[in-house]
């Protein structure tokens, strides 16, 4: 007989189905399953939605962007090996993503089965262990958002492994012009930011899931403004003077488009696609107004009493 939901307390406790019959006491569901409305553990058979894939893409981009930032930061103009290190970082993250997908259920396929994310509490089931008699706690902590929580942690682990296998050999061979300590600083930086990313996912994964589109938009706008200001780009002529500046600009435009798509989710193509026309807006606004906000001009006008 099917047990009534009232006999199984809590949001995430359930009973396991074995040989088409419900067996065992109410408790935690096995990995890859979650309790339904009848408090029966059901296998996750759905596929991630577009928003879920965009979230996984955002979490996958974080180590890659940090790799590129620190490679550029520590290479500077001293070495011509930065490009090769950028390519190696891209290869490491791509290989880690492919291996992670292949090892996840279903094994051997570049696809995953998942449970639907219904609410923020799905990410923090450890906070919802019920106490029916206020004495004994029923532990029902599980991955209700399978596999969106653990797949990111597995991906970070593979990124770290591939980096330690490939990057030191590459840097030692081609990082000419850098000192023995400077050439490995981008690797040392990764050894710091990977634990930070892991803790960020473990603690704030649910918050990031709902906030990442806005984080992308804000950070891309701020970093683009800082870069153009630091590079003293005040006109279209300054912008196209170096190919590197165009690469940075187009990279930020891609991030802008990614954030807009993540927010709109492309539910209504007719209304959402025109929003992509706003992507060049911040850069154009900066170029058109930079001449009016130049610090030297403001100081000179202030000194003249204007």
- Asked if 245 contacts 233 with a C-beta cutoff of 8 angstroms, the reply is yes
- Asked if 56 contacts 152 with a C-beta cutoff of 8 angstroms, the reply is yes
Closest alpha carbon to 186 in 97, 252, 89: 89
DSSP-derived 3-state class of residue 40: strand
Contacts (Cβ under 8 Å, ≥6 apart) of 106: 112, 113
pLDDT at 226: 87
| pLDDT tens by residue, the chain, 306 residues | 343 444 788 889 988 877 666 667 788 999 999 988 888 898 988 999 999 999 999 999 999 999 998 888 887 655 566 788 888 899 999 999 999 999 998 888 988 999 999 999 999 999 999 888 888 888 899 999 999 999 999 999 999 999 999 888 887 776 655 555 567 888 899 999 999 999 999 999 999 999 999 999 999 999 998 888 888 888 888 888 888 888 889 999 999 999 999 998 877 777 778 888 889 998 898 888 877 776 665 555 555 555
Contacts (Cβ under 8 Å, ≥6 apart) of 153: 198, 201, 202
Contacts (Cβ under 8 Å, ≥6 apart) of 134: none
Closest alpha carbon to 70 in 194, 223, 188: 188
Q: How many Å apart are CA 266 and CA 272, to the nearest integer?
A: 6
The sign one gets for the Cα dihedral 109, 115, 118, 122 is negative
């Amino acid at each position: 007989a099917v047990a009534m939901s009232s006999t199984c307390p809590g949001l995430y406790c359930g009973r396991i189905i074995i040989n088409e019959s419900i067996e065992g006491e109410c408790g935690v569901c096995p990995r890859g399953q979650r309790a339904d409305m009848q408090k029966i553990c059901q296998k996750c058979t759905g596929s991630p939605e577009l928003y879920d894939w965009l979230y996984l893409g955002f979490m996958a981009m974080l180590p890659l962007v940090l790799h590129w930032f620190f490679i550029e930061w520590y290479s500077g103009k001293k070495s011509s090996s930065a490009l090769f290190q950028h390519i190696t970082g891209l290869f490491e993250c791509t290989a880690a993503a492919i291996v992670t997908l292949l090892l996840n259920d279903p094994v051997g396929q570049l696809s995953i089965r998942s449970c639907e994310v219904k609410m923020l509490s799905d990410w923090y089931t450890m906070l919802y262990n019920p106490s029916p008699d206020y004495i004994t706690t029923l532990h029902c902590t599980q991955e209700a958002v399978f596999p969106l929580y653990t797949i990111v942690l597995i991906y970070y682990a593979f990124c770290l492994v591939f980096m330690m296998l490939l990057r030191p050999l590459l840097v030692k061979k081609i990082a000419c012009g850098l000192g023995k300590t400077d050439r490995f600083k981008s690797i040392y930086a990764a050894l710091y930011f990977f634990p930070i990313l892991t803790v960020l996912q473990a603690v704030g994964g649910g918050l990031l899931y709902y906030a990442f589109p806005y984080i992308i938009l804000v950070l891309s706008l701020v970093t683009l403004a800082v870069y153009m200001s630091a590079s003293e780009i005040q006109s279209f002529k300054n912008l196209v003077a170096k190919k590197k500046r165009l690469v940075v600009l187009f990279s930020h435009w891609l991030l802008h488009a990614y954030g807009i798509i993540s927010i709109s989710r492309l539910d209504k193509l007719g209304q959402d696609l025109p929003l992509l026309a706003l992507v060049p807006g911040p850069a154009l606004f900066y170029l058109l107004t930079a001449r009016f906000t130049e610090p030297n001009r403001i100081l000179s006008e202030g000194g003249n009493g204007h």
